[in-house]
Amino acid sequence: MKKLLLSLTLIGSAFIAQSQVICAGISPAAIIGNYNFTWATGGGWGTPNFLIAGTFVQGDLMVADDGTTGLSAQGISLGNYGCSPVTNNLAGKIAVVYRFDGVTASTNCEFGAKALACQTAGAIGVIVVNRENAVASMGAGAVGSTVTIPVVMISDVDGATLRAEMLNGPVNMFLGNKIGLFADDAGGLPGTTLISKSSGVLSQLATNASEFNFELGTRVYNYGFNDQANVTVTANIDGPSGATVYNQQVGPFPIVSLDSIDVYPGETYSFPQFSLATYPAGRYTLTYTIDLGTADQYTSDNIITSEFIVNDSIYTFAPLDSITNLPVANSYGRPASNHVTYSSCMVIDNPNASRIGIEGMYFQAFTNASDSIDLSGEEMLMNVYRWEDVFTNLNDVNLAFTALYSIAVGYYYYPSDLQNQTVYGSFSVPVSLEDNQRYLVCVQTVNPKVFLGYDSKNDYSWNEGYYLQPLTPIQVDTAYYASGFGMDTPSAMGLKVFNAAELGIKEVGTLEGVAYPNPATDVITVSLKAEGNASLMITDVSGKVAMNSKINLLNGKAEIAISSLEAGMYIFNITTEGGQTSQFNVVKK
């Protein structure tokens, strides 16, 4: 599975290769802890390599000021963007500077130029505050090669927290790699931890322990220069009422200096599987706690948490907002290279899927202000595909995306510039699902300037490695990538589902079926659970009728000639003699 590079992507800081590269608050107590960040490295930067153990800076923060007057679109002083020579003395400080506000010309300069201005004023490091609640990769630009101090980016929310605390006194931060800095120091990472199989767990598919369960496990690192003999890990899950529904401790066990141990299914140390007899609706919190058995000199990475929410309406891999209960995007991405079509997708496959149907989907989009476009009127195509390629797991050589048959389609047109907001689009006809059938649900854009929403909080890297099933693939032109942009950044899409038994979608006269191949050139085959004569009406996406004809379903199938149609998207509407209907979305090449 290929992991694409993004021209703008939000990535978390927790990768195994950089296991203790951190951006951390040291003091005061209100800001202690690790912050999500990206750092300027490679690609023309002259900055230090944080992957080298012991490479770091630590110092008090100071906001850079280049003397420019006025306020930005975000209400920040224009002088804090560092696009002119910095006028205040930053000697020995970690400078705080802001990213282009998306509107004001005086804030629009390269990251390298901002960092160099701070370095020239004496800064030992730079924190760039983003203009949104996310982080992004930073290009070096023309002068980044001359920047020799560390440069990191944090979100606007974290930036506001740090700046507010600076009003109360000095704020001390650590940027870099802390491996070997302390004698006694252990911790873990979200990227090497097993979590729930999804964050939105459907109650219709989780009625007992056999229908919903998952494995637990985490990797424990000894970052210190002392060997440890009495390390323990506790896994705890609190249910919606706040009561503990699972609590297990593993250990004590030894870990030598700068080594790690996996507490993992099938290994020497492992947790029992999590399952409950019933799953009350609500929010569940999983917490892993690592204990050295002695005083840990850096405790911010000793606790790893994640959440899942049992509900009857939304299936997602992204966090669900505590107020709206909708999936949340905290990162946005698109392929690095130009593209014609780009889709963000998610997979649903369950032994009891016939209990539910899909009526629509939630997603998010974003455009750069520097591209001089907004989302108003932007068209998004939504599809539900039966994924008929037969394969066992991600390691199967038969894994392919060649047998995708559209069974539901919808279009969403942005009514206004709803940047970074979770929006909802419905399918033209709701679709019920089948047991043990893999489905791929996608939202697609044909605008290469549009970024789609992803999540940098829930890291499914270990889940993917253990269960070996595709979760959130992406599509770029004719190619699909089963692991998307990587399971540390799963799609922030969500599926709106309904209880098929209650709504009785089959009883109101809608037939299930597929149309293939799709896209097609000359002939397309429709397959329905019906026999005999039926009428076919083909319309384009505007509703204009392109063809009317009669078809005969033999063994549930009929071939339809479409060579006379122009290239484009069409909706096939089939009505049987008994009054039952079926609808397909078909692309004519």
- Name the pTM for this structure: 0.77
Overall average pLDDT of the 363-392 stretch: 89
Facing residues of 537 across strands?
Answer: 548, 573
Q: What is the pLDDT of residue 19?
A: 58
Q: How far apart are CA 353 and CA 435, in angstroms?
A: 5
Q: What is the pLDDT of residue 7?
A: 26
| Range scoring the smallest mean pLDDT among 285-294, 296-305, 335-344 | 335-344
Domain 186-311 matches domain 511-588 at the CATH topology level: yes
**Average pLDDT over all residues of the chain:** 89
Number of Cα atoms under 13 Å in the Cβ half of residue 189: 25
The DSSP result for 425-487, as a single string, is EEEEEEEE--TT--EEEEEEE--TT-EEEE-SSS--HHHHHHH----S-EEETTEEETTTT-T
Q: What is the pLDDT of residue 570?
A: 83
Q: Contact, 98 vs 109, CB < 8 A?
A: no
Quick count: other Cβ atoms within 10 Å of Cβ 395?
Answer: 9
Q: What is the pLDDT of residue 12?
A: 26
More confident residue, 439 or 298: 439
| Range scoring the smallest mean pLDDT among 58-67, 466-475, 541-550 | 541-550
Position 226 pLDDT exceeds 60? yes
Q: What is the pLDDT of residue 364?
A: 96
Position 323 pLDDT exceeds 90? no
Q: Contact, 281 vs 241, CB < 8 A?
A: no
Structural domain 186-311, CATH architecture: Sandwich (2.60)
pLDDT tens, residue by residue, 326-349:
998 888 888 877 678 999 999 999
> Environment class of residue 146 by beta-carbon count within 10 Å: exposed (0-12), middle (13-18) or buried (19+)?
middle
Q: What is the pLDDT of residue 4?
A: 30
- Angstrom distances, CA of residue 16 to CA of 178, 397, 550: 14, 27, 60
Q: What is the pLDDT of residue 15?
A: 31
Residue % of the chain over a pLDDT of 70: 94
Residue 500: enclosing H or E segment and its boundaries? helix 500-503
- State the first-to-last Cα distance of the chain, in angstroms, to the nearest integer: 28
**Which fold would CATH assign to domain 511-588?**
Immunoglobulin-like (2.60.40)
Q: What is the pLDDT of residue 229?
A: 97
Overall average pLDDT of the 277-281 stretch: 96
Q: Contact, 74 vs 100, CB < 8 A?
A: no
**Per-state percent for the chain, helix, strand, coil, to nearest 5:** 10, 40, 50
Query: What is the residue extent of each domain of the chain?
Result: 21-177, 186-311, 315-501, 511-588
Q: How far apart are CA 436 and CA 215, in angstroms?
A: 21
Options 1.10.10, 2.60.120, 3.30.70, 1.10.287; which CATH number does 315-501 get? 2.60.120
Q: What is the pLDDT of residue 54?
A: 80
- Confidence category of residue 109, pLDDT binned at 50, 70, 90: very high
- Confidence category of residue 507, pLDDT binned at 50, 70, 90: very low
Q: What is the pLDDT of residue 548?
A: 86
Q: What is the pLDDT of residue 294?
A: 95
Overall average pLDDT of the 356-360 stretch: 93
Q: Contact, 380 vs 409, CB < 8 A?
A: no
Overall average pLDDT of the 81-93 stretch: 95
Q: Contact, 433 vs 357, CB < 8 A?
A: yes
Angle among Cα 437, 438, 443 to the nearest 5 degrees reads 135
> Environment class of residue 245 by beta-carbon count within 10 Å: exposed (0-12), middle (13-18) or buried (19+)?
middle
- Confidence category of residue 573, pLDDT binned at 50, 70, 90: confident
Tell me the backbone φ, ψ of residue 159, rounded to 5 degrees. Answer: -60, -40
| Range scoring the smallest mean pLDDT among 48-52, 301-305, 396-400, 436-440 | 48-52
Structural domain 21-177, CATH architecture: 3-Layer(bba) Sandwich (3.50)
> Environment class of residue 339 by beta-carbon count within 10 Å: exposed (0-12), middle (13-18) or buried (19+)?
middle
